[in-house]
């Protein structure tokens, strides 16, 4: 996942979402920013699930650790 900025942005969006927000809410919010289309966001979400970063509607432990790392990258 190192090189794919869109995946990292999506992972960060999932990590920082509000408690009452759904995955769909996060995808729609990121689509509004123009980062990617809803279709692309859904594809990226599927990839994150396939790679073990997301299970069901939440981040896995692996996803949480990677999201924290991504958050630190963006703080620089």
pLDDT tens, residue by residue, 52-66: 999 999 999 999 999
> Please, what is the angle between helix 5-15 and helix 38-50, to 10°?
80
Query: Domain boundaries in the chain?
Result: 5-75
Q: What CATH code is assigned to 5-75?
A: 1.10.10.10
pLDDT tens, residue by residue, 8-50: 999 999 999 999 999 999 999 999 999 889 999 999 999 999 9
Tokens of 30: 């990121």
DSSP code string of 42-56: HHHHHHHHHTTSEET
Residue 32: the pLDDT is 94
> How far is the C-alpha of 27 from the C-alpha of 30, rounded, in Å?
5
Asked whether 31 and 41 are in contact (CB, 8 A), the reply is: yes
Pick from 75, 64, 70: nearest CA to 2:
70
């Amino acid at each position: 996942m190192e090189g794919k900025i869109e995946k990292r942005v999506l992972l960060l969006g999932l990590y920082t979402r509000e408690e009452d927000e759904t995955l769909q809410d996060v995808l729609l919010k990121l689509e509004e920013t123009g980062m990617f289309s809803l279709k692309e966001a859904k594809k990226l979400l599927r990839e994150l699930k396939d790679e073990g970063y997301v299970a069901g509607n939440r981040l896995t432990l692996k996803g949480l650790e990677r999201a924290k790392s991504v958050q630190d990258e963006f703080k620089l």
